[in-house]
Amino acid sequence: MLPVTNLILRTSNKKIKNFEDDKDSVVELNPGLRYDGVVNIRNKKGVEKYKRFSGQYYLLDADKHLIESFEVVIAVDSKYPNSFPILMLCDDHFEKSLKYHMDENGGICLEHTYIANAIAAGGLRVTDFVDYYLPRYFSWALVKKFGDATGLEEWDHHEKGTIELYQILIGVSDKEVIRTFLERCLAEPKPRRNTPCYCGADAKLKDCHWKEALFLHCTSRSQIKKDVTLFE
């Protein structure tokens, strides 16, 4: 998908106070979707309970004309609203492979995990998730399959994608600078505004990479420790 780093997702004007409001909003704005209730879904951690939506997502053009419909499942874990929903494609519109950022079961990777973590930490409504991510992903996938994909932007996969993320986030490609940034980030329990910037510049963190430091704070320290080895 596009390397979106804007963490503000409030695209709907509807007043949503809780999940019940959110659920009703999703179904109202997306007539092909229904709410299935709470179901058990197996993930890497085992079996967990998810709030599930399923049905047809209708991709529309600017004039609200139907472009294509897709059979999908949207699953939201118990941490709602501090969670990033799972999107699965249940039909055969696209090959279920890394080419379309999908696993063999149709699970779609919409964001780099660290961006998803930061968005979830700030809270994400399902209404906004559907409104923002689904049209972007399916438009992107249709162009990739049927159009000229030369100019399409997307994250690399796995470790290459993580390296790319840090390069964009910190604004440099120098491995030593990125490694030093991560090591200094790990040296503090949490970012402090007046500490020297992790990048090594002659500036305080608050005047240089403050937002980037807060962004990384949303991802586990153990994961960032592993990432340091990518820049050795």
**66-120 per-position pLDDT tens digit:** 999 999 999 999 999 999 999 999 999 999 999 999 999 999 999 988 989 989 9
Query: pLDDT, tens digit, for every residue of 33-50?
Result: 999 999 998 777 778 899
222-225 own/partner pairs: CB under 8 Å, 24+ apart:
224/182, 224/185, 224/186, 225/186
7 vs 226, residue with greater confidence: 226
Say what the pLDDT of residue 201 is: 92
- Average pLDDT for residues 151-164, to the nearest whole number? 85
pLDDT of 157 reads: 83
Output 162 or 5, whichever has higher pLDDT: 162
